[in-house]
A and B are shown apart, each in its own frame.
Chain A
Amino acid sequence: MSPPASPPPCPPPCPRVLRAETLRVETRRDGAAVPLVTDATFELRTGEVLALVGASGSGKSLACAALLDTLPPGTRRSAGRVSLDGVAVAPAALRGRTVASVLQAPRSAFNPLRTIADHAGETGAAAGLRRAGARAAMREALAAVGLGDDPRVPDLYPFQMSGGMLQRAMIALALLARAPFLVADEPTTDLDLVAQARILDLLAALVRDRGLGLLIVTHDMGVVARLADRTAVMAEGRIVEGGDTAALFARPDRPETRALLAAHHALSAEAS
């Protein structure tokens, strides 16, 4: 299907654009190549949220991993290119400095034997921050995610924190790198709805205040409705429909999109 709409005339300051073109991801089964993602093209701009939505197994997480070259073992990107502001780049070179990422399961993403400050130091060093600067940057990042009020937070170990706090801490680490883009793969799946709502509020605020470009991968049309400016719907490894989120909700074209929306509305009905 058609890729999400081409960029509008550029208002100053010009947004940065991260573009994935015709990505293809394959695995091998019984000696033959089996495509898991086919011809995935999408574009992420700073200051705006793109949602990659689909049922489980639709390939949305793999498409996202292909963008950053973080595919799981046994799968590989066999076609497509990634460009930043129109210049082709190696996906691996984007990670950290240009694109920060937030993962689904915060608990397994942290080293259980190291404190939040230790993790921040590591991330800061990778981003080229010096020690004193790193400490200040960490405090600022923790404050930005709503963990700034409690002075004990930097010295906490992951097991001492709730899932919601850990997800905030992970977003804080992502902010430390000062990357213009943030990729979040199912960032609220392991959280309860209250924690989810707060994390989504936080992400929306970061996009608004810092002009981040956010790519969020989700199976929940509620998350899409809350956050996304543009949406790409995936099914069976392909982007089947894409475009402005409001238009998509108003006039879904494809059966896959309609199924997702029908279930979403069935659950959202009787909203008080």
Chain B
Amino acid sequence: MTARPTPSLLSTRDLGKAYAGTGWRRGTPRTVLAGIELAVAAEECVALIGRSGSGKSTLARLLLGLERPDAGAVRFRGQDLAGLDRAGQRRFRAAVQMVLQDPLSAVNPRHDIGRIVAEPLRHLTDLPAAERVARVGAMLSLVGLDPASSGRLPGQLSGGQVQRVGLARALATRPALVVLDEAVSNLDAPLQVEILDRLAALRRQQGTAFLLVTHDVRLARRFADRVLVLEGGRIVDAAPCRPRLDLTHPAARALVDAVLPAYPEGAR
């Protein structure tokens, strides 16, 4: 990527990550990411697609500053994450949020919905308690849940409802970028469509940028402006979604070809 006059929201420079071998035979470190260059601009919607084991989730964690890179850097509005002071880290956390894959395990089963959604508000904002309650209610309605459900426990809701709770939590601080790490992949198609449509509306209203991490080309195609393809820890292909997603790398083609047919053979 070339240097831009205005720094992008979140970008990486030659990002790399390797894990030490585990178990009895500690071999050479295993490289999971290398030479990653990506940039997400404000109000943009980017999909990062790849097979399991391609390094997608590791990249998402590096982008969120949850793990340290072994090479290169992640930059938030042009500033290296490693160089942020405490206040800068707080601003970064409030501005870049993530929704995890498995809804039920991503929420503390002992906390009620209101407390779960309010968690980032308590840590990352100076909102007084009354306004936090109001914001939680607004966020729950935003994701299509009844604000009255804030007193309930996650175990009393369905998987799809709990994933909306996770979404409400990520949106609570009004972040500039939300990373969705396979956050809709395991839901039923009707729920997937509904949630993606809600997020698209949110993007139009508030200009929230999204990074959709997924193995499902269908979700990327419906939701994103452009697609990056990750394979073996490297970005191997990139293309805009419109007018038509045109990917050439074999790994990318495999992902596209894996999309299941719309109609059974006899009815086409």
Contact = CB atoms under 8 A, between A and B. Distances in A.
Contacts of B255: 193-194
A222 B263 contact: no
A196 B160 CA distance: 22
Contacts of A219: 188-189
Interface stretch (B8-16, B39-47, B112-120, B215-223): B215-223
Nearest to B56: A192
Given A245-B264, A270-B244, A55 B190 contact: yes
Contact of B259 (A56, A193, A262, A265): A193
B219 A267 contact: yes
B3 interface: no
Contacts of B217: 193
B185 to A, nearest CB: 9
A270 B245 contact: yes
B264 A246 contact: yes
Interface string A222-256: 11111010000000000000000111011000000
Nearest to A245: B264
Contact of B262 (A55, A200, A220, A225): A225
A246 B158 contact: no
A272 interface: yes
Contact of B192 (A200, A249, A259, A267): A267
Interface string A98-131: 0000000000000000000000000000000000
A2 interface: no
A263 B52 contact: no
Contact of B258 (A189, A194, A221): A194
A193 B215 contact: yes
Contacts of A259: 190
Contacts of B257: 197
Interface in B233-263: 244-246, 254-263
B144 interface: no
Contacts of B160: 56
Contacts, number: 112
A264 B258 CA distance: 15
B60 to A, nearest CB: 15
Contact of A228 (B186, B262, B264): B264
B53 interface: yes
Contacts of B193: 262-263, 266-267
Contact of A262 (B186, B190, B216, B260): B190
Interface string B143-166: 000000000000000111000000
B51 interface: yes
B266 interface: yes
Nearest to A200: B260
B267 interface: yes
B189 A221 contact: yes
Nearest to B187: A56
B220 to A, nearest CB: 10
B52 A163 contact: yes
27 contacts: A56-B187, A56-B188, A57-B158, A162-B52, A189-B186, A192-B52, A192-B215, A193-B215, A193-B217, A193-B260, A194-B215, A219-B188, A219-B189, A220-B189, A223-B260, A225-B261, A225-B263, A225-B264, A245-B266, A249-B267, A260-B188, A263-B191, A264-B262, A267-B222, A268-B218, A270-B221, A270-B245
Given A219-B188, A249-B267, A270-B222, 7 more contacts: A56-B159, A200-B260, A223-B260, A246-B267, A250-B267, A259-B190, A267-B193
